[in-house]
Chains A and B, each alone.
Chain A
Amino acid sequence: MKLLVCISKAPDTTSKIAFTDGNTKFDENGVQYIVNPYDEWYALVRALELVEANGGSVTTITVGTAADEPTIRKALAIGANDAVRIDAPATDPYFVAKQIAEYAKDKGFDVILTGKETIDFNGAQVSGMIAEILDLPFVSLAQKMEVAGNTATIERDVPGGSEIIEVATPFVLSAAKGMAEQRIPNMRGIMAARTKPLTVVPAVSVENATTVVSYELPPAKSECKYFTADQMDELVAALHNEAKAI
């Protein structure tokens, strides 16, 4: 079984979100980058479990600059066999999808896994785009996956319930909560990661389909108004008259 896991970096979940250069750039000052949690906890760990059970290999792929290598090494420390970095900043989802599709198209991967979205752009775009470019089925928001031969059985929540679906390899999958449990890399993993192969591949030329022109922070919340437990009628009146929420 040959699996490709797309790994993106993301600012740590406790990062202060601020912008610089006239609100055109994310302020990286003091920001700690982590492996995007959905990529790490769910996509990568489930890929590792499948390969541990069935044999095969897990390759990670990242579109990014040399600054992304610590997050790539973290994925290797958790257990991926080798890593690929497409050498370009990840500026647009279509650009990223095209790079990954270009790399993967003739390598015979059984499943290409991503997290359900990154926690910075929340776009959930790259996986579907890879699938379309490669003309493969795409299973989004998968919460359980078993693979037997060339058939995968996948469980996921859908609005109003859940479903179990079947799809033949190769396909693209985005992983959501439930797929696996987070793994903390041990010392041996961290040591081994230093010498695992990390191949740097030049990017293919693709125009960015979108560009972020500026960022904004949400308007500050007004002060919290307090009510005591005895003032529930007043709270309900405020929700009705003032907030118009009910």
Chain B
Amino acid sequence: MSVLVFVESKDGKFSKAAFEAVSYGNKIGTTTVITFGDASDDVLAGLGNYGASKVLVNKSVDGKNEQQLTRLIHAAAEATGAETVVMIQDQLGKAIAPRVAARMNAGHISGAVALPDTSNGFVVKTYVYSGKAFANVKVNTPKRVISLVSNALAPVATGGSASVEVFNADLGDAKIKVKEMKSQGAGVPLPEAELVVSAGRGLKGPENWGIVEDLAKALGATTACSRPVADIGWRPHHEHVGQTGVAIRPNLYIAAGISGAIQHLAGVNSSKTIVVINTDSEAPFFKAANYGVVGDAFDVLPRLTEAINKFKAAQ
């Protein structure tokens, strides 16, 4: 089976999520990658280490125009005869995967968390109900587009190398114009973060976030928060996780001063390990936790930071 994987490089590099997508493709069939931008040929060929046999790169398309990217991916799928297109369920993937599916008359699996089961048709497990359940979705069309959530399947290094070719196609006009970009600073964006430290109303005020940031820094984690904290402006909106915020699935989620309301859990309960710190031993979050500390975040967080620093120093 021929598979096309679409990934995007940033600052000349590919993220772990991209390696996951390439590995995922390689487990389904012979994998070609389509990408764009200015990553070096070495970096592009490096995708072979995750199973790509060929990397097609378009050097002219502007990554902001999903209509053009859609045409690029469609043209690459036609050129390689791919029946299955794999993308990452991130912001760009969410914008273009449905378009590519509609253009290819392909069924679209959004939010895949496992490899396809082909024992009876083509069935892929996806998360639904904001992570409270999974659905096994069957694709009825001969072609399909799969959007993979990050941190679901680990990338597998194969030691291979890929050939690199420039790929051009008729992309139509660019209809979206970016007028201004604002950077939020460095750091791993929340949806891709493997370690997340999050805090809620229990922290009492924005001036107290230093102890949250200290722990995040010690761990190399990304910070997050509950919805009310973003709503009252203690923290920026992009940190809000939950049903109406960002849905995340890190390896480790540490929540301090968050009660664990069902809407909060909806966005975080796919985390592999959850640590809850709360003064109230009855807080609902403890039911979803792997590890719990009944205690005051103002006391526990600095101690945990110290223990992490000690652990890191001993490594």
Contacts and interface: CB of A to CB of B under 8 A. Distances in A.
Which of A131, A135, A167 counts the most B-chain CB atoms under 10 A from its CB? A131
Interface of B: 10, 64-67, 70, 90-91, 94-103, 105-111, 123, 125, 127-141, 175-184, 187, 189, 191-192, 195, 219, 237-238, 240, 243-245, 247, 251-252, 262-263, 266, 269-270, 272-276, 286-296, 299-300, 303-304, 306-308, 310-311
A213 B136 contact: yes
Contacts of A177: 237, 240, 244-245
Interface stretch (A46-54, A156-164, A194-202): A156-164
Contacts, number: 267
Contacts of B95: 128, 138, 140-141
A119 interface: yes
A150 interface: no
Contacts of A215: 128, 133-136
Contact of A141 (B67, B94, B105, B175): B94
Interface stretch (A67-75, A81-89, A105-113, A204-212): A204-212
Nearest to B180: A164
A235 B275 contact: yes
Given A13-B262, A129-B99, A236-B311, A140 B303 contact: no
B136 A235 contact: no
B291 A228 contact: no
Interface stretch (A57-65, A184-192, A218-226): A218-226
Contacts of B247: 122
Contacts of B272: 243, 245
Interface of A: 11, 13-14, 17, 19, 37-38, 92-94, 97, 117, 119-129, 131-133, 135, 137-141, 143, 153, 157-168, 171, 177-178, 207-218, 221-222, 224-230, 232-233, 235-240, 243, 245-246
Q: Classify the secondary structure of B's interface with A.
A: mixed
A143 B195 CA distance: 26
A125 B112 CA distance: 13
Contacts of A171: 175
Given A128-B99, A225-B290, A167 B110 contact: no
Given A139-B176, A141-B94, A208-B140, A221 B290 contact: yes
Contacts of A139: 176
A213 B123 contact: yes
Given A228-B293, A233-B310, A216 B189 contact: no
Contacts of A138: 66-67, 95, 99
Given A159-B91, A221-B287, 5 more contacts: A123-B111, A138-B67, A209-B108, A210-B138, A229-B300
B233 to A, nearest CB: 12
